[in-house]
Structure 1
Amino acid sequence: MPKNNLTPDIIEGILARIPEGFIHQSTLAEHFQAYKDAVNQVVAAGKIGREGKHLYDPTRLTLDDMREYQQWATPSLPRMRSDLTFVDKPILERRAARERQLDRDSLRVIRALQPTGYAETERFPPLSEDGRILRRLLEHKILRQVDSLIFDPLYLSESTVQHLVEQRYGTPESEEILVEAEDSAKAWEALLPQAGDVLRSDAQDGPTPKDQVLARTYTLRTAAKRLGAHVETLEHAIEAGHVASFVDPGGQTRFPAAIVETALSDPEMEALFTGFEPLSIRAIALVSGLRYSNIYNRLAVEGINRAAPTWGEVRGKWGLPDTLREFREILREKRAERRIARRAARFEKQERFEQQRRHERERRASLRARLVAAFPDWKHEGRIEQQLFLHLGPPNSGKTHDALNALVDAGSGWYLGPLRLLAFEVFDRLNERGVACSLLTGEEYIPVPGARITAATVEMFNPLKSGQCVVIDEAQMLADPDRGWAWTRAFMEAQAPEIHLIGPPTARQLIEKLASAAAMPLKVIEHERLAPIQVARQPWPLTQLPPRTILVAFSRRTVLDLKYELERMKRRVSVIYGNLPPEVRRRQSDRFAAGETDICVATDAVGMGLNLPADYVCFYEVEKFDGQEVRLLTPAEVQQIGGRAGRYGISTAGEVGAGNKRDLAQIDRLFHSEPAPLTHARIAPTVDDLAMLPGSLADKLEQWASLESIPDALRSALKTADLSEQVELARMLTNQEVDQLGLGRAMKLVSAPTRENIRFYWRACASAILAE
C-alpha cells in the first residue's frame, strides 16, 4: 500500500472496518504519511476515541473494552485500494446485513463464539447439528478457521487469531513470523549472550539459536502485557536508557527474560520498566482513596504535569503501592466496588422511585375516589317537574324558530348559543318582536329594562337563575373538546321546567343517553328542511360568483383578502367573522339582507345558525386549521355550513358549491356523506372538585384532567374536556390573585372562550377585574 496522506474521514473509515474496533498508531505510521493532524482532527470532533497511541471506535467500544482488547488482540488494517477507498463496508453494516440474511440456527452458532469471538473446534462435534451448520458457515467463509480455532471475522482479525494460536503453542508471535525464513542462524546465535539464560515462563527451549533466543526473550508487546503496562511505556523506558534491550534480525525489539522476570519481584526494577506509564487523575484518586480535587492540587504542589501524570512520578506517594501491577489490581478492585456501589445506589434509587410511584398511585386513587363520590347527581326529585324537548333537523328546518317561540311563551329564561354574534342576533330578533331581552356575553352586558329573557353565550349561563325555559342551541357542541363542558353543564344543571335542545340528528343518540342517565323526560321533535338544497354542477370562480352568495373561508386574513379581491372586481361585499364587533356585524348583515351587497365573505361562524338570506354557499377552501392541525372539513361541517343556502321564506331553493372542480368534488362527497353520530359529551371540574386538589389553579386543572374522575356508569357518554387553554390562562394568574378572586370567580374567568392570540387582552380584562 503506498504511503499516502490520511484524511479524518479515512481514519474514521479505517476504524469502522477493523473487527476489533481499535488500532495502534504505529500501524498507521507503517503505511501512511502525515497522519497525525488528521488523527487530532477526528479525535477533536468526537468521532473516534484515543488513549495514548491507541485509536478506537466509540460506537462499538468503551475505553475499558479497548483496554481489555489490547492486552491480547493484534488488529490489522482493513482492505483498501490504491486510491484509499475501502473494499468492504463498515463492520456494523456487515453485521446487520448478516443478521437479516442468515437463518436462526446459523446465527445461534455464530453467537456461540461470543464474547471473545473465537472458540475451539472441539466445541462443535463434527456429527452434531451445530457441527454441520459450522461446516456450512466455513464453506461460505462466514466464519473462518486458523489451526484449531474457529473465529468470527466480523469480531476478530486473522492477525489476532494467528497470535492467539502462536501464544497457545509457544510459537513465535505475529510480529516474529514476519522475520524472513532465510535469517541466518549465525545472526541469531550472536544474540544468545544478550538473551541470557533465563527462559520465559510460557516457553520451552528449542534446538536452533533462533528458537533459543525467542524462548529467552520478551517482545515489547509481550513484556508490556507481562508487566501490566503499555507498549509506549516500555518504548519510553528504552529511549531513556532505563532498561536493556536489543533488536533481533527481524527488526523486533526484545528484552531478556531475566530482567522482565526480575521486575516481577523487584519493585525498583519494575519501576524502571513502568515509570513512564500514563495515569489518569481519576484512577490515582480512586486507588489512593483521596478526592479528585485533592490529587489535582497535590500534583501541582509536586510540580507534576496534571494533564499527563506518570507512574514513576506518583509511585509510593499518597498511599499508592510500589508496583504498577499492584496499582492495576487495586484499581480493578476499586472499580468493581464502585460498580457494585453504583448498582446498589441505582437499585435504592429505583426502590425509592417505585415507592414514590406507589404513593402517587395511592394518592391519585384516593383523589379519584373522592372526585367520583362528589360527581353531580343528575338524578334528582326536580326532574319530574322538567320536560326536555330535543329539536332535531338540518339547517333551515325551523328548529330555532320553534324553540324561541316556546321561550317567549314561557315568559322567562335563557337563549344559549356558541357565538356572541348568534346571541346578538337572537337579542335583536326578540326585541324587534317586542319581547324584552337582555344580552350577556364574555365581552358585553346589555340589560334591557323589564327583560326576563337573556340571550347569552353558553359559558355565561347561571343555572340557579334558569327561569321557566332554557333554549340551548347547536347541541352538537356537547362533544366539542374545548367548550363542550359548557353545553353539558347547561343541559344537566338547568333548573327550568322546559329545556329545549337544538341540534342535528347526529346528536340524538348522545342526548338520549344523557337524558336517561339523569332520569329526564325527553320528547324528540323532528324537523324537515323547509327549502330544497342541492350541490352545484359547476364550480364558481371568484369572477363568476352569483349574487346572494356566502363565500366561506376559515381565517380572518383570508376573509379580508377575498373582500379586497372582490371589490377590485367591482363586487359589493359584506364580511362576517368571529371577532367583528356586534354593531359592525349587524350593519354588514343588514346590508347583505337588504341587497346593498351581493357577496358576504364569512368564516364558519355562519354555520352556527346565523340568519343570512343567501341563495348560495360557496366554499373558497375545503380545509381548516382546527387549533392543532390543518385538516379536511368533516361531513357534519359541510352540511352545517352549506345548509345556510336557501333560507325559507326568502329563497325558493339553495345551492352549495366551491371555487374549483377539485374542491367541488370534495364538497359533493362530504355533503352527501352520513356524519358520524356523537358519542361523548365533555365535562369540566366544579369549584368543589378543584378545592379537593392541591397546588395552584393551573396545577388543580391539570390534575383534574389527568384523573378522569367519571363514574363508571357514565364513561360511555362522558369525557373530560381539553382544559389546555384554561391551564394557560390560569398560569397567567398568581396564587395571590386567585385568592383575591376566590376559586369560583377565578374558574369562571379562566373559562372565558379565548385563543392564544388574544390572551393579552384576556389578561388586561383580568387586571381590570382585580383592580375593582
Structure 2
Amino acid sequence: MPKLEPTPEIIENILSRIPEGFIRYDMLCQRVALHRDMLAELINDKVGRDGDWWYDNTRLTRDEMHEQRKWAKPYFPEIKAGVFTQESILERMAERQGRIDQLGSTAQHMFDTLAQTKGYMRKDELCKEADDEVKLNLLLASDDLEQFEGLIYDPLRLSNRSIKQVEAQEKLAPARQAVTDYLTGQAGQVAPETELIEKFGAYTIDALISFDVLKTLQVMNPQHQGVTWLRLSSADPEQARTIATESTESSWKNLLDKCGKVIRPGIKDGKTVRMQVLARTYTVTSAAQRIGVRQNTLERAIEEDRIEAFEDPEGRLRLPADAVEAAFDNPEYAEHITAYEPVSSNDLAIVLDTSFPSVRRRLQKIGLRRGEPHWGDLRGEMDLPDTYREFRAILKEKTETFREQREQERESEDKRLEVERKEERERRNSLRAKLVAAFPTWRHDGRSEQRIILHVGPPNSGKTYQALQALKEAGSGWYLAPLRLLAFEIFDRLNQQGVFCNLLTGEEHVPILDAGITAATVEMFNPQQSGRCVIIDEAQMLADADRGWAWTRALMESRSADIHVIGPETVRSLIVQMATAAAIPLEIIEHERLAPIQIAEHSWPLQDLPPRTILVAFSRQLVLHLKTELERMKRTVSVVYGNLPPEVRRKQADRFANGETEICIATDAVGMGLNLPADYVCFYEIEKYDGRNVRLLTAAEVQQIGGRAGRYGLSTVGEIGATSKRDLKVIRQLFAEQADVLTHARVAPTVEDLELIPGSLASKLTQWSSLGSIPDSLRSAIQTADMSERIELANMLTDREVTLLGLEAALKIVNAPTRQSTRDYWYQCARHILTDKALPLPPVAPSQITNTIELESIEYCVSCADIYLWLSQRREFGSFAPHGDEVREIRTGCSLQIDGALLRKINTMKRCSRCGAPLSIQHRFNICDNCFRGRTPINHSTAG
C-alpha cells in the first residue's frame, strides 16, 4: 500500500481519529512518507509534537500525553482506497451523544463516571443500580462502550490494544509487588538481571521492564563491561550503579584462580580482572568449536565431570583455556569428551564405504538398535579408527570426494537439461509459429460493405433501445446477450411488439414461424447466418477471461452489414483497435443517462432502506441472510443471485418491478442487462471475492451496478448509497473515478489449433493457453481465454475416451456449463455417451424447501438439468438425450418450487454448519464460536 503524502491536514486527520490522541513517530512513518527535515512544517494549532511523540492539541496537553503513553498503546486509524474509514473522534462523540440522550440519565451517568477515570472501569464498579446492567448491555450492543475481560471501556478514548495493555498490567500486579518487595530489601534496590530472571521468570521481568517498573543498568566502566543489573524505577540511579559495580568487581576476582595460566591463542591478556578471566576461558560455544564437537556434546561432558567448567557473574558457563587446549592438542585426551558425540548412520556409511541399510544391520549386530549411537559406543568397533578426530578427518576427505563427484554429475545433468530445454524452446517456437500462421486475419473483401455501430454510455441511457430499433428495421439478424434471462426478455418483448423472433440458448430452442430475428446467448451465434443486423450487448464481456472469446467471435466473424455493439465507455478504445485490425468501418454513438443520478448524502441503515431499493451483496449466503433479516423487519423482498434459475430470477425481478416487493437483494448479476428498474441502489458491502482474492470493488463495477438507480420517466433522480458511512465514502470516490479502460479481448482455440498440438486433450489446452499464440499485430488487443475449467473436465477424460469421441466432439463436451459441484454429473453424462447409452437423468430434487440446505440441493438439481439440456441441444449429443422434454418440465417445476419457497419467506438466515445455530451477518466463519471451541455436539438434523 503506498504511503500517504505528508501534509499538516493529513497528520491532523490521523491524530483526530486515534482514541488516545497521540502516536509515535516510527508508527507514523510506517504509513506516511515522513522525513526529519520536514517535521517543523507539519505542526499547527491542532497538531503538537514533543520529541518522537505527536499528539492532538485539541484533546490533550503535552503532560497528559506523557502520562498516558506510559501505559497506552495507540494504533494507526484504518484507511481504505486512500480514504479514512471513520470520522474523527470528536465527530463520533457528538454522534454518540445523541444515542446516549435517547437512553436517558443512567447511560449519561455511566459516561460521566468513566470521564473521571483513565477511560475504563471494572463492570461491578460501573453497575451499582439494578437498571445499570440493562443500560450497559444496550451500550455494549451499539458499540458505544466495549468490554475486554472484566473491564468496560470507552472505545473513543482507548483502543483495544490499550485496554489489553491495562489488563496485562493488572494481571501482573502480584508479580510486580513480589519483585518490588524483593528489590526493596536489596542494597541500592538493585540486583543482577540473571538473579531476578532465575527467581521470578523471564516473562515477568521482561514485562516489568516494558511497563517501566524496572530500569536496566549496564556496568560500563573500564573495570566491568557488559554486566546487566536491574533496579526499581524509584531507586537512586547513582547508588544502584555504585553497588552493582562493587559487587561485580569482587565476583570476577574470585574466578581468577579457577581460570589457570593458559591464555587463549590469539588473545592478549586483559587489563581488567574481567578481561583477564575472559582471556583465560572459553564459552561453551567457542570451546565446542575449538575441540570440534557439538555444543550439547560438550555440555554432556561437563555434566559428567569429564572437563571443568564454572559460571561467571554474568551467568555464562566458562571453561578454563588450559583444559580446552589440552583436548585440542591431544586426541587421546579429547576422547573423554568426544565419547558423547552422536554419529549419524549417514556419516558411518561414507567412512565405511557401504550403504545406509548395511550400517543399520552392523549397528544392530553390536547391540545398537535405536537412535544415533555415540562415538564412545563405536570406538574400536566395525573397523573404525581409534579416535574421533581420525574419524572426522576420513569423513571430511571422503565427503569432499563425494561432493566433487556430485558436482560433476550435476554439471552433466545441467548440460543435459539445457539441451532438452533448448529442444523444447525450439519445439514451442515452431508450434507457436504454426498457430500464429493459422490465426484468422479477420480481414476479407466484404469488410467495406460492413460497419460497426458502437453505442457507448452509462446504464439507463437508451443504448439497447436504439440498437433494437435498427434490428427491427433490418428485419433479419441476431440479438446476442450474456444471459439466458436477457435473451428471453428481448425474445418476449419483440414478439409482443409483433416482430417475430426465435429464442436460442444453450439449453433451449424456441423457433417462431416466419421469424427472421433470433435472440440468443452469445455462444450460440452462427456467424455464417448472420442476417442483415447483429446486436452484441454487454460488450465489456469481450475482456472476460472465461467467456470473452464468444464476444470476440461474434464481433470479428459476423457477416452482417450492421454490427451494433453496446457497452460502457471503457470498451471504446478496445473496439477501435479491433475494428482497425479487421478493417471494418466504425461509427460511434455516445449516449447520456436519461435519468439523473447522484450519491446519497447519508448512509442508509438496513432498517431505514427506502422502497424501490436494490440492496447489493456479493455472495448467495449473504443475500439469503439479508432476506430473512429484512423480512423480520416486515419488509417485502425479492432476491436475485447467480445460482437462481433464470425463470426464478425473472419472477423475482418482475415482483420488484411491479411494486409487489419493496427491496430487491441482488449480487452483481444485477449489473448486467437484467431490466430491474429501481430508484435506489444501496451497497451492503464494497468488497467481493473474485475467484482468487477478496478485493475492493473497481470504479467500473460501482458505476455499472450503481448505474441501475433511476427510472426514466418515473424517477426524478436515481440515488446510490451504502449501509455505512465508511462504505459510502468509498462508493462516492469510486463512482467519481474514471474507470480503467479494457485493453484485451479474448480468443479460444479451434479444433484446427488443437490438431497442431501433441498430447492429451488437457495437455493440448494447457499448451495452447501457455503458448499465447497471438500475432504481434494483435498482441496489444487480444489475449487467450482462461482454459482452467475446460482443462479440469479434459483431465477427467482418458486419451482413449477422447479418441472415441473425436477431437471436435471432445472439445465441444468440455465446453459444457459446469461448476465444481456438477463435474461428477457431467462425467456421468460423458461416460453414457461413450458407451452409447442415454444420458442419466438429473438427481431427484427435494420434495419441499424448508431451509437453505434444501434450497441449495434443488439449485444443484437445476444446474445438472442445465447440463442435460445443453448436451441435448448439440448435434453430436442430441440423440443421447431422449428425455429432453421431461427434464425441461422437471427443471421448470424446480424453478417454480424455488420461487414459491422464496415467496413463502423460508428462514434463510446464515447458520452454523455444525450445530445449525443462527449466526449474525457480521460473523466471518461457517461455524459458531461454541463449535469452534468444541463445546457443541453436531446436530445432524439441522446441519444436514
TM over 0.5: yes
Output one character per residue of 1:689-722: Cα deviation in whole Å (capped at 9) or x when no partner.
2222233222222222222222221121122233
AA paired with 2:759?
Answer: G
Query: Partner of 2:169 in structure 1?
Result: none
Q: Render the CA deviation track for 1:149-200: whole Å, top value 9, x for unaligned.
A: 9xxx9xx974479999xx9xxxxxxx9xx9xxxxxxxxxxxxxxxxxxxxxx
Q: Distance in 2 between matches of 1:311 and 1:604?
A: 73
Q: In 2, are the aligned partners of 1:535 and 1:655 still within 8 Å (CA)?
A: yes
Please report how far the alpha carbon of residue 473 of structure 1 lies from its aligned counterpart in structure 2 after TM superposition: 0.4
Does residue 1:448 correspond to 2:512, yes or no?
Answer: yes
User: Any residues of structure 2 matched to 1:183-194 within 5 Å, and which?
Assistant: none
- The correspondence for 1:628, drawn from 688, 692, 715, is 692
Deviation at 1:526, TM superposition (A): 1.8
TM superposition shift of 1:643: 2.0
Question: Secondary structure of the residue that 1:499 maps to in structure 2?
Answer: strand
Q: Within 5 Å, give how 1:113-512 maps onto structure 2.
A: 146-147=267-268, 158-159=279-280, 228-229=331-332, 231-232=334-335, 285-294=349-358, 296-297=360-361, 308=373, 330-512=394-576
Q: Matched residues in 1 for 2:368 and 2:803: separation?
A: 64
Seen in structure 2, the aligned counterparts of structure 1 residues 440 and 716 have a Cα distance that, compared at 3 Å, is: same
Structure 1 residues 385 and 144: alpha-carbon distance in aligned structure 2, compared to 1, 3 A threshold: farther
- Partner of 2:528, secondary structure, is helix
Where does residue 679 of structure 1 map in the other structure? 743
C-alpha deviation, 1:501, in angstroms: 0.6
Q: What is the distance in 1 between the residues matched to 2:376 and 2:723?
A: 84
1:749 lines up with 2:810 in the alignment = no
Alignment-mate amino acid for residue 683 of structure 2:
F
Report how far residue 475 of structure 1 moved.
Answer: 0.6
Distance 2:498 2:724 in 1: 45
2:784 aligns with 720
When residues 735 and 468 of structure 1 are mapped into structure 2, their CA distance, relative to the original with a 3 A threshold, is farther
Report deviation, 1:512. 0.4
Aligned residue number for residue 795 of structure 2 = 731
SS of 1:146 mapped into structure 2: coil
Structure 2 vs 1, CA of residues 564 and 232 (structure 1 numbering), >3 Å: closer, same or farther? same
Q: Which amino acid aligns with 2:399?
A: R
In structure 1, C-alpha distance between the alignment counterparts of 2:427 and 2:782, rounded to whole Å: 24
- Give the letter for the 1:356 counterpart: E
Match of 1:698 in 2: 762
Count residues in correspondence. Answer: 546
- Cα pair 2:379 2:385 within 8 Å, conserved: no
Q: Is the 8 A contact 1:424 1:582 kept in 2?
A: no
SS in 2 for 1:613: coil
Alignment of 1:571 with 2:674, yes or no, is no
Change (3 A) 1:744 1:161: same
Q: Match for 1:619 among 683, 699, 706? A: 683
Contact 2:677 2:710 in 1 (8 A): yes
Is the alpha carbon distance of 1:394 and 1:82 closer, same or farther for their aligned partners in structure 2, counting shifts above 3 Å?
closer
Q: 1:314 to 1:461 in 2, by over 3 A?
A: same
Q: Is the 8 A contact 2:326 2:333 kept in 1?
A: no
Q: Aligned letter for 1:500?
A: H
Sort the Cα spacing of 1:297 and 1:760 in 2 relative to 1 into closer, same or farther, 3 A: closer
Give the residue type in structure 2 aligned to 1:231: A
- AA aligned to 1:490 is A
Distance 1:228 1:686, change over 3 A: farther
Residue equivalent to 2:38 = none
**TM-score, structure 2 length as denominator?**
0.52
Q: Which structure's CA Rg is the greater one?
A: 1
Q: Corresponding residue for 1:93?
A: none
Query: Displacement, 1:507?
Result: 0.9
Equivalent residue, structure 2, for 1:609: 673
Aligned mates of 1:452, 1:602 — CA distance in 2: 35
Contact 1:393 1:526 in 2 (8 A): yes
Give 1:477 shift: 1.4
Long gaps (5+) in structure 2? 1-191, 203-263, 291-304, 309-321, 840-879, 881-944
Letter in 1 for 2:509: Y
User: Cα RMSD (Å) of the superposition?
Assistant: 4.1
How many angstroms does 1:609 deviate by?
1.9
- 1:569-601, Cα deviation, whole Å (9 max, x unpaired): 333322222332233233223333333223322
- Describe the shift of the 1:329–1:446 C-alpha distance in structure 2 as closer, same or farther (beyond 3 A): same
Q: What does the per-residue CA deviation read over 1:462-487, in whole Å, with 9 as the maximum and x for residues that have no partner?
A: 32333332211011111223322221
How many Å separate the matches in 2 of 1:593 and 1:83? 76
Which residue in 1 is equivalent to 2:95?
none
Mark the CA change 1:83 to 1:435 in structure 2 (over 3 Å): closer, same or farther: same
Q: Is the CA contact 1:278–1:311 (under 8 Å) kept in the aligned structure 2?
A: no
One-letter code aligned to 1:596: E
User: Is the partner of 1:648 in helix, strand or coil?
Assistant: coil
In structure 2, distance between residues paired with 1:623 and 1:348: 52
Kept in 2, the 8 Å contact 1:375–1:710? The answer is yes
Cα distance in structure 2, aligned partners of 1:620 and 1:683: 35
Deviation for aligned residue 1:652: 4.5
Deviations, residues 216-235 of structure 1 (Å, cap 9, x unaligned): xxx99778656755623599
Distance 1:761 1:230, change over 3 A: farther
Give the TM-score normalised by structure 1. 0.62
Residue of structure 2 in register with 1:55 after alignment: none
8 Å CA contact 2:268–2:279 kept in 1: the answer is: no
Question: Structure 1 residues 434, 158: CA separation in 2 closer, same or farther (over 3 Å shift)?
Answer: farther
Distance 1:438 1:354, change over 3 A: same
Q: 1:226 to 1:691 in 2, by over 3 A?
A: same
In the aligned structure 2, how far is the partner of 1:566 from the partner of 1:279?
71
State the identity as a percent: 59
What SS does the corresponding residue of 1:415 show, helix, strand or coil?
strand
Q: Which has the higher mean CA deviation after the structures are superposed, 223-232 or 567-576?
A: 223-232
Gaps of 5+ in 1: 1-78, 90-142, 168-174, 179-218, 237-275
Distance 1:586 1:226, change over 3 A: closer
- State the 1:644 CA deviation: 2.0
Matched residue type, 1:640: Q
Assess if the C-alpha contact under 8 Å between 1:227 and 1:325 holds in 2: no
Say if 2:362 and 2:382, in contact at 8 Å, map to a contact too.
no
> Partners of 2:399 and 2:655 in 1: how far apart?
86
| Counterpart residue identity of residue 232, structure 1 | E
Greater mean deviation of Cα atoms: 610-619 or 282-291: 282-291
Question: What is the CA–CA distance in structure 2 between the aligned matches of 1:596 and 1:341, rounded to whole Å?
Answer: 82
One-letter amino acid of the counterpart of residue 344, structure 1? Q
| 1:459–1:751 Cα contact (<8 Å) kept | no
Classify 1:157/1:738 alpha carbon distance in 2 versus 1 (closer, same or farther; 3 Å). farther
For 1:277 and 1:603, how far apart are their aligned partners in 2? 67
Distance 1:376 1:83, change over 3 A: same
- Does the 8 A contact of 1:623 with 1:632 survive in 2? yes
